[in-house]
Amino acid sequence: MNTIQTPEAKEMLLAFMSGDASYDGIFYTGVKTTGIFCRPSCRARKPKQENIEFFGTAQQALFNGYRPCKRCRPMTAPGQPPEEIQGLLEALDQDPQKRWRDQDLRAAGLVPATVRRWFKQHHGMTFHAYARARRLGNALTAVRNGETVTDAAFDHGFESLSGFNSAVHRLTGTSARRGLETILVRRIVTPLGAMVAGATGQGVCLLEFSDRRAFERQVKTLMGRLNAVLLPGTNTYLDRLDDELQQYFDGALSEFSVPLQVPGTPFQQMVWKHLRQVPYATTTSYGELAARIGRPTASRAVARANGDNRLAILIPCHRVVGANGDLTGYGGGLWRKQRLLDIEMRR
């Protein structure tokens, strides 16, 4: 597992010519006539087939004399915000209670329409809605921690209690109350694409690649189990997770220490507990995992519990392979599973 595996050439060619963003991070395309290399999703004019070659990593393209495309920026991690958006996110972190308006964006040298499109694409809401939702998430967390609804509303930038309650109901479909849990979520950019991370006041409860097909179902199940609402924001657990993930992808960390909150059935809990005990840079099979939990005939049930894992990488379901050693299903895609194993094996 020491080499980067790529799809067949015909598949890569089709993905590149169609601008398929789902292949971003899987391979890179060098254009011989221009000397640049691109992501598969690059919107630049497509070259002739005889003038392109494929690479498994951006580093390989660089070593072969190609320079990165200025349009698709293949040296940045997939999902990395543009520099101006990154600056805006940092400003929001520094003052999460601020009530943003279009004139504030223009004063910062930003085009409101551009900001709106980026947030709609990556967060499903406008920047202003995102900023309001962050304030709301912080306020609901304060209520959860014992602050009165009135104090929480005014402390987090809401001008009236009725406005706060309307915002809560509009975004969550429920009312502010102390029994309601808040899951704060943020994007974390990794070399394998953007991930969505979520945490409560007890620990990290969600970490999944944003393009996973079952993502919405997993989130709905999580919200039901925790009696929670999902809102953008951050806390110390998410900050710690971001730092540990970067160390992991750099090959400097083999065991995560950030606290986890893992609601599930007793059987799921048992499977996930044993998954966390699979050593770094090793693999196991569903059958072996079933034997470890004392249920040797429950391989299929173990596989289902593995697929229901909502904490990718942290609960290392990528270390489970077929009985013959072949890669089996992975919610984030088999190519990511292979890359995660590559990262661990190369340390």
DSSP string, 27-86: BEEEETTTTEEE-TT--SPP--GGGEEEESSHHHHHHTT-EE-TTT-TTSPTTPPPHHHH
For residue 274, what are the CA distances in angstroms to 131, 177, 264, 283?
39, 36, 14, 13
The two three-digit tokens of residue 55, written as one number: 């690479």
Distance CA 39, CA 19 (A): 9
**What SS3 string covers 163-220?**
HHHHHHHHHHCCCCCCCCEEEEEEEEEECCEEEEEEECCCCEEEEEECCCCCHHHHHH
Residue 231 CA: distances (Å) to CA of 55, 64, 128 = 38, 44, 14
Q: 239: how many CB neighbours lie within 10 A of its CB? A: 14
| C-alpha–C-alpha distance, residues 108 and 55, integer Å | 39
User: At a CB cut-off of 8 Å and minimum separation 6, what does 97 contact?
Assistant: 135, 138, 155, 156, 157
Helix H or strand E encompassing 321: strand 320-321
- The helix or strand, by DSSP H or E, that contains position 226, with its residue range, turns out to be helix 215-226
User: What residue has token string 């890569």?
Assistant: 12
The residues annotated as belonging to the active site are 38, 317
As a whole number of angstroms, the longest Cα–Cα distance in the chain is 67
Identify the bridge partners of residue 187 per DSSP, sorted by sequence position.
196
CB 125 within 8 A of CB 131: no
